[in-house]
Amino acid sequence: MKISISYKLFWAIMLAASLAVVSLVWITHWNLKRGFLHLIKETEQAGIVRLTDSLQKFYSTEKSWDLLQQDGDMWRELIFFSLPHATPPQQSSPPPPPPQPGRRESLERPEALPFPPHLMQNLTGRIFLLDNNHKLLIGSSIRLGKKTLIPLKDQAQTVGYLGYFPLKRLTDNRHLHFLEKQKFVFFLVAGIIVLLSSFLSFLLTRKLVRPLKDLAGATHTLTRGDFSCRVPITTTDELGHLAANFNLLALTLEKNEQARKQWVVDISHELRTPIGILRGEIEALQDGIRQTNAESLQSLRAETIRLGRLVDDLYQLSMSDPGALSYRKAKMDLIPIVADVVTSFHHEFNLHGIQLFFAEEHPFYFFGDAERLRQLFSNLLENSLKYTDAGGKLKISMSQCKQTLTINFQDSSPAVPEEDLEHLFERLYRVDSSRSRSTGGAGLGLAICRNIVEAHQGTISAQPSPAGGLWIQVQFPASGAIDG
């Protein structure tokens, strides 16, 4: 059975909260019990000190332990009035005063003191009296455990020892009942905290999982081909960033889908024209409308060449996409490559009456594919050759600033409208749609240029030229900035 992330997150939070609460309750209860036992020990120790003082006063008066040894009630009274925690429950009349050393007659009471039997048994069982020769006088010292002996002195001479066994654990029912009540309170508070944690965990889980559910639903929508879906951004944390990235992905896919549809339309349009001309020429020859002669065959050949040029441009465009073809990059000097391409175009520019200026500078080292770069510069020169008026000029300049190489192609009129500059590098885009395809081409040259530049991690842009035409600027990272 699949467990949803909501339940996993809920139980993870609940487990962490429960472990924290149980650990806190256990540690608190252990510390309370330990601290309470320590408090009882300190109180008992203070009572032992008072009992020691009372016994020393008794001996200083009686000069022996005989009377105390014979009278068990006097021994219990000394213990009772020395140890505060041995105080019996409150009565309507105040308790009798502590016994004073003296004869037995002075210690007689009209009635027995109400000592709690279990309390006196616990105390008398842990306290005993020895003479100066360590002979047991009162109590019992025959028991396991560590015992403590306190010397009893009279005029700087040891006359006996007060011995006792320190308390190791709580045995008083009142103390145990108090700890049980505290334990109950602790577990009650722990239960309330766990319930509150479960409620808060439920709310937190819903809040955290809701964006994930929205993303999951939007992802399914994307897989169905609906790229218009978006998810709301409700937070600024990682989930908010994820939602923003998803929206960006959906927007990119939507634009790519629109571009794909437009690409198919443009390609079909570009292929329809030469194919329609070829079909019309062939049908005219078949129907005898036109004679099969050199002129008709030349017309067919021209349309075939135009169709082949379009197919070749499409192939070059697909091969120029980054990642579509392995670029064989190496460190090279751009100056000789640009110079060779400029030299190969000199004759064409002269025939069209366009002046071509290129001043060779110092070496510009770059890491790239020489053949692809030749194709890049050839397309840019061919673009200027097609669209620059006769009598115009083209100026090519190169510069280097820090880690950037810049190559500028600035030609003369005609200019390109401002609104068309940002679309020049799109596939099949023409500034003048009425321009003949024999002159203007299919509008793929600058798109190929952009792919080659981006494959070298560079940028290409268009802006108005100071000479009145178009200014194409190509920027590459200098040598060493790119891995091949």
> Tell me: the pLDDT tens digits for 253-291?
888 888 777 767 767 766 776 787 788 878 888 888 877
Query: How far is the CA of 13 from the CAs of 17, 88, 189, 202, 314, in angstroms?
Result: 6, 50, 19, 9, 57
Q: Is the pTM of this model over 0.75?
A: no
pLDDT of residue 448: 79
pLDDT (tens digit, 9 = 90+) per residue, 310-325?
Answer: 777 666 666 655 554 5
- Domains of the chain as residue ranges with CATH: 5-87+98-173 (no CATH), 235-325 (1.10.287.130), 330-477 (3.30.565.10)
Specify the range with the lowest mean pLDDT, choosing from 69-73, 140-144, 382-386, 397-401: 140-144
Residue 235: per-residue pLDDT = 77
Name which of 85-94, 215-224, 429-438 the model is least confident about.
Answer: 85-94
Confidence at residue 118, expressed as pLDDT on a 0 to 100 scale: 46
Question: How far, in Å, CA of 295 to CA of 342, rounded?
Answer: 35
**Is the Cα torsion angle 68, 70, 74, 78 positive or negative in sign?**
positive
Distance from C-alpha of 437 to C-alpha of 384, rounded to nearest angstrom: 16
Q: Are 128 and 79 in contact (CB under 8 A)?
A: no
Question: Using one digit for the tens of pLDDT, what is the confidence trace for 79-97?
Answer: 877 765 444 444 434 444 4
DSSP 411: E
Contact 310, 271 (CB under 8 A): yes
Which helix (H) or strand (E) segment holds residue 128: the answer is strand 127-131
* Helices vs. strands in the chain: H and E counts, helices first: 12, 11
- Give me 197's structure tokens: 């944690």
**Tens of pLDDT, residues 13-25:** 888 888 888 888 8
Listed in sequence order, the residues at least 6 apart from 90 whose beta carbon sits closer than 8 Å to its beta carbon are none
Complete DSSP assignment for 134-191 = --EEES---SSS--EEEEEEETTEEEEEEEE----S---HHHHHHHHHHHHHHHHHHH
pLDDT of residue 251: 87
If you average pLDDT over every residue of the chain, what do you get?
78
The more confident residue out of 327 and 8 is: 8
At residue 93, the pLDDT reads 40
Cβ atoms of residues 455 and 327 within 8 Å? yes
Question: What type of residue sits at position 423?
Answer: H
DSSP tag of 354: -
Instruction: Look at strands 330-333 and 148-154 and give their pairing.
Output: unpaired
Task: List, in order, residues 6 or more apart from 115 with CB less than 8 Å away.
Answer: 76, 80, 86, 88
Query: In this model, does residue 104 exceed pLDDT 50?
Result: no
Span of 115-124, 143-152, 209-218 with lowest mean pLDDT: 115-124
| Residues 6 or more apart in contact with residue 114 via CB below 8 angstroms | 88, 89, 91
